[in-house]
Amino acid sequence: MGGVGKTTIMRNIHNDLSEQIKSKHFDCFIWITVSNDVDVNKLQRKIAKELKIDMEEDDDEDGAARRIFNALKRRKKFLLILDDMWDAFNLDEVGIPIPSEENDNHGDAIGVKMHDLVRDMAINITKAEKPRSVIDAGGQLQEFSIEFPEDVVRISLMDNDIEVLSGEPNCQHLLTLFLQESPLQKISPDSYFNHMCSLRVLNLSSTKINSLPESVSYLKNLRALILNRCRDLEEVPSLEKLEELRVLDLSGTKIRELPSGVEAMIYLQRHHLDDTGELRVFPAGITPRLSHLEVLTMRGSRWKWSSKTGEGAGIEEILNSTRLAILYIQFEELSDFLQHAKSNKWHTKKRFVLSVGTSYLPLPTDESYCVEICSYDLIGEENPLLLPDTTQWLVIMNCQMSSLWHFTHLLNKSELYRFDIIDCKNMKYFMAEEEPLLSDIKKLGIIYMSELLVLCKGIPSPDALKSLESLRVFYCKKLKYLLPARLLQQLRCLKTEC
């Protein structure tokens, strides 16, 4: 979350550590600003510059990763601060060593010391700041009776045991209020936020609150309202006047409908509605009015998208949004997905997870474009599977199906390189004789296939799995022969086997 003082705190910590304990704990310090989009090659070049590694113009990511890995391994103990990082990435891809058997315990010890050190220094730094901050995070407070100073700019009471906040604090200059990770049940009276007119970030995530004070509706300068994992929260007051809001996170709440006035938040960039199991409708006409919306996530939501007219928005509203770049949604029916699978609008997305049926899997970290089909009866399905051209990972899970080839034979010649089939109990063989199954797939996972007897029934096609590099097989208790000799001979690219 930008604009809440993390960079200032971390830079002070970095400078202090550099002066005080460099010789004691670390061989080198590296500070890198990552920013919104994680470009592995750019990140590698920034790290290489700090390490004084000469990089060639034509160095690819693998070569750069080896150079960085070797340079860091030589230094053994290093502190790497990645500032302004918005998305996860694989350390391996960049070349950052992961703790090994020989340094795990030592790393854990330093990690604990560093955690305490960072927390204490952050508190000391912010207490000394002008304007002022009030930080009492993780202090096991059961109540907070101290009156906030009028000139306070940041307040953090996260990870405490506070159940009730009451009063009407006069904090005209307050910018951030962190109350997350606590058993907070009630904020009263309704006028609690009346004198927080400058508030920009309000974080109540992972609390037990079931309603918000009406005064939230008047926080006109609010940029981020974070309510994820508020499992008891059933409704949110009108947000019509929150025109400056950029981030609205309602994931894991019990809301049955969107807060009124959402369509007025014209600068909204990120809208999170994952695990909203009670959300009955996503109203039509909202998405076109949110002209700055870049991220919409709705995995595990009760609301599923389709082309059907009637109550709620159609999938066309999402596809026609010009700014929407990251999309995690579920389709009502397989037919709805297939109808739009080949739309050229998917090419404009930076990342998507498109689900048919109930979504089970954690969010992918390596693959940017994922399709999953879960808990669906595919026996007798007449239409073969189509995917957006940019799809990288396909998951079929807990489905009834008789022929994988019949369903997937149109998937060749695409960007798809990973396929996992999980818990499809009635499948006895993966492919039949002469079926050139998944000839472009590089990574294959076969997991919890309890009735699977053989991978190939009969003589395999010469093209079947010919590009396969990685094969993972788990919990297939009836599978006696993993790779018949004929099939093994043609898997010339296979590198790993589990």
Please give the span between the terminal C-alpha atoms of the chain, in angstroms, as a whole number: 39
Interatomic CA distance for residues 101 and 269, integer angstroms: 42
**Average pLDDT over all residues of the chain:** 84
pLDDT digits (tens, 9 = 90+) for 217-252: 999 999 999 999 999 999 999 999 999 999 999 999
pLDDT digits (tens, 9 = 90+) for 159-184: 889 999 999 999 999 999 999 999 99
Segment 273-286 shows an average pLDDT of 94
pLDDT digits (tens, 9 = 90+) for 383-414: 889 999 999 999 999 998 877 888 888 886 67
Q: Please, which pLDDT band fits residue 24 given cuts at 50, 70 and 90?
A: low
Q: Please, which pLDDT band fits residue 449 given cuts at 50, 70 and 90?
A: very high
pLDDT digits (tens, 9 = 90+) for 451-484: 999 888 888 888 889 899 999 999 999 998 887 7
Regarding predicted confidence, which is higher, 374 or 121?
Answer: 374
Tell me the CA distances in angstroms from 190 to 35, 194, 238, one per residue in order: 38, 9, 13
Q: Please, which pLDDT band fits residue 55 given cuts at 50, 70 and 90?
A: confident
Q: What is the pLDDT of residue 110?
A: 45
Q: Report the number of secondary-structure helices (H) and strands (E) in the chain.
A: 11, 22
Interatomic CA distance for residues 136 and 159, integer angstroms: 9
Q: What is the pLDDT of residue 11?
A: 61
Q: What is the pLDDT of residue 18?
A: 59
Q: For the ranges 25-34, 97-106, 347-356, which has the lowest average pLDDT?
A: 97-106
Q: Please, which pLDDT band fits residue 74 given cuts at 50, 70 and 90?
A: confident
Q: What is the pTM of this model?
A: 0.75
Interatomic CA distance for residues 313 and 284, integer angstroms: 4
Phi-psi region of 441 (alpha: psi -120 to 50; beta: other; left: phi over 0): beta
Cα angle 97, 98, 99 (rounded to 5 degrees) comes to 115
Q: What is the pLDDT of residue 3?
A: 46
Q: What is the pLDDT of residue 472?
A: 92
Q: What is the pLDDT of residue 88?
A: 66
Q: What is the pLDDT of residue 137?
A: 75
Place of tokens 């009276």: 189
Segment 99-109 shows an average pLDDT of 51
345 CB-near residues (< 8 Å, 6+ apart): 319, 320
Q: What is the pLDDT of residue 328?
A: 95
Tell me the CA distances in angstroms from 215 to 62, 182, 199, 257, 259, one per residue in order: 53, 21, 12, 20, 14
Q: For the ranges 34-38, 95-99, 202-206, which has the lowest average pLDDT?
A: 34-38
Tell me the CA distances in angstroms from 24 to 19, 27, 96, 434, one per residue in order: 11, 9, 22, 65
Tokens of 323: 């700014």
Q: What is the pLDDT of residue 169?
A: 92
Whether residue 114 has pLDDT greater than 50: no
